[in-house]
């Protein structure tokens, strides 16, 4: 949710942010007008309340002869106060509705849409082979790691089983990520995967892409697409202590996405599925520390990607491709040999005060005054990483070399085809 004080003082900045996102800049002027109307309504209601209080004292001091006429006037004033209060509530509701429609203010992201990202860095060389490489699903089948057919039989399209060494490969990757997060000062969490509507809305996920989310109507609960949601809600309506520095959590959970609108896209294998596991970093910090924390999360992702030995690039995501809560987002994309392109593995977003303002999460500054916190998130490992690990580490005989950092968890140096 946008800060109204910032909006009043920086309307042009917010308009430009809306244009950068490809969103409606007219909402800015609508909100400014609604905010002015709200303040007028508040003033009118307060003045009538003061008048009512003064009138009450006058009645108390009146003679028996004067009181009937004064009581009649009191009833008329009471009706005016009630009407003014209703007008105030309506004006405040209009402001809140418009606030919820305006996305976070972009900070430094390039303008444009999905294809207008800026490549910041390449790490490693794209893998090349002197044989015809197999894609991750063919490898997964021949190595006994992935079973898509039975996944579809049990759950439908885009469901799967990770079997045998495939399960250990994922567990090892996530455990390694959890260990790295702990060493960096993150508290490991296994959060709920079902959340209330106000938490899902507070994190900004019930906007344009709400059709991607599974909703349990009978229970009025949402299945999370990332543990970011539950971790953001963890300190809802709280004042947290940031005097010793940022508060950092790492959430390990299953995640669920309907993949609405992706019909025909990435239907083969486990690149785009309805259920997956993820280790998500989440940070609460002071707003002035958010940019530095964003770089720290990106460095954590760099370290983890180095450990699993895949070539990748880092991109600065364009404004039109940002989620509503992100002011800036960096994606890491791994090279996928059989597709001859880079595909997203992780993202890290600086959400500034947008989510915390919606969820009323604050901290006390050096003067003891409550201020809105900033929040950030970043993926440290997830199921789709197996796609890049398998394809980039395959050998001519159909085997796959296990990245050294994962060998203690898998118990093997090489995954051999099942005979």
Task: Express each pLDDT in 177-211 by its tens digit.
Answer: 999 999 999 999 999 999 999 999 999 998 767 88
Per-residue pLDDT tens for 15-47?
Answer: 999 999 999 999 999 999 999 999 999 999 998
Question: HSE-up of 279 (CA within 13 Å, CB side)?
Answer: 24
- Give 68's pLDDT tier (boundaries 50, 70, 90): low
Q: Which two tokens stand for residue 85?
A: 């209060």
What is the reported pTM?
Answer: 0.91
- Give 75's pLDDT tier (boundaries 50, 70, 90): confident
Q: What is the pLDDT of residue 61?
A: 64
**For the chain, what are the domain ranges?**
4-101, 118-415
CA–CA separation, 58 and 69 (whole Å): 12
CA–CA separation, 106 and 316 (whole Å): 12
**Residue 348: phi, psi to the nearest 5?**
-135, 130
Per-residue pLDDT tens for 211-258?
Answer: 899 999 999 999 999 999 999 999 999 999 999 999 999 999 999 999
Residue 53's CB is within 10 A of a number of other CB atoms, namely: 10
- Give 63's pLDDT tier (boundaries 50, 70, 90): low
Residue 254: helix, strand or coil by DSSP? strand
Same fold, 4-101 and 118-415: no
Catalytic residues: 257, 272, 344, 347, 384
Q: What is the pLDDT of residue 70?
A: 61
DSSP state, 399? Answer: -
CATH topology of domain 4-101: Helix Hairpins (1.10.287)
- Give 55's pLDDT tier (boundaries 50, 70, 90): low
Q: What is the pLDDT of residue 419?
A: 82
Q: Is 196 exposed, middle or buried (0-12, 13-18, 19+ CB in 10 A)?
A: middle
Integer-rounded Cα radius of gyration of the chain: 27
> What's the CATH architecture for 118-415?
2-Layer Sandwich (3.30)
- Give 265's pLDDT tier (boundaries 50, 70, 90): confident
Q: What is the pLDDT of residue 207?
A: 74
Strand 187-189 relative to strand 161-162, pairing: unpaired
Residues of the binding site for ATP: 257-259, 273-276, 344-347
Strand 161-162 relative to strand 370-372, pairing: unpaired
Q: Nearest Cα to 272, choosing from 227, 329, 192, 336?
A: 336
Q: Which two tokens stand for residue 6?
A: 């910032």
CA–CA separation, 329 and 342 (whole Å): 17
């Amino acid at each position: 949710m946008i800060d109204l004080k910032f909006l009043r003082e920086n309307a042009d900045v917010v308009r430009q942010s809306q244009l950068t996102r490809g969103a409606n800049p007219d909402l800015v002027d609508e909100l400014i007008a609604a905010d002015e109307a709200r303040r007028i309504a508040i003033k009118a209601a307060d003045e009538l309340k003061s008048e009512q209080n003064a009138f009450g004292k006058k009645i108390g001091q009146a003679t028996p002869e004067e009181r009937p006429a004064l009581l009649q006037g009191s009833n008329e004033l009471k009706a005016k106060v009630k009407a003014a209060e209703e007008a105030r509530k309506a004006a405040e509701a209009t402001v809140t509705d418009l606030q919820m429609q305006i996305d976070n203010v972009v900070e430094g992201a390039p303008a444009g849409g999905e294809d207008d990202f800026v490549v910041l860095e390449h790490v490693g060389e794209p893998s090349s082979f002197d044989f015809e490489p197999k894609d991750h699903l063919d490898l997964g089948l021949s190595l006994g790691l992935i079973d898509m057919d039975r996944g579809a039989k049990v759950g439908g399209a885009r469901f799967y089983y990770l079997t045998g060494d495939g399960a250990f490969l994922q567990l090892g990757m996530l455990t390694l990520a959890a260990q790295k997060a702990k060493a960096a000062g993150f508290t490991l969490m296994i959060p709920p995967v079902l959340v209330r509507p106000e938490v899902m809305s507070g994190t900004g996920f019930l906007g344009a892409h709400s059709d991607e989310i599974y909703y349990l109507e009978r229970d009025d609960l949402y299945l999370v697409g990332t543990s970011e949601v539950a971790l953001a809600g963890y300190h809802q309506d709280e004042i947290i202590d940031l005097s010793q520095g940022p508060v950092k959590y790492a959430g390990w959970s299953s995640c669920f996405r309907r993949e609405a609108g992706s019909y025909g896209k990435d239907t083969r294998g486990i690149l785009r599925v309805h259920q997956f596991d993820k280790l998500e970093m989440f940070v609460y910090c002071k707003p002035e520390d958010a940019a530095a924390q964003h770089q720290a999360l990106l460095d954590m992702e760099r370290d983890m990607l180095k450990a699993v030995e895949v070539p990748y690039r880092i991109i600065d995501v364009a404004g039109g491709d940002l989620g509503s809560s992100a002011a800036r987002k960096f994606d890491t994309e791994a090279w996928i040999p059989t597709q001859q392109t880079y595909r997203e593995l992780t993202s890290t977003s600086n959400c500034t005060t947008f989510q915390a303002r919606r969820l009323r999460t604050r901290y006390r500054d050096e003067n003891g005054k409550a201020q809105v916190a900033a929040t950030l998130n970043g993926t440290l490992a997830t199921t789709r990483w197996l796609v890049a690990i398998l394809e980039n580490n395959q050998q001519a005989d159909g085997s796959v070399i296990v990245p050294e950092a994962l060998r203690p968890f898998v118990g093997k140096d090489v995954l051999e085809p099942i005979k």
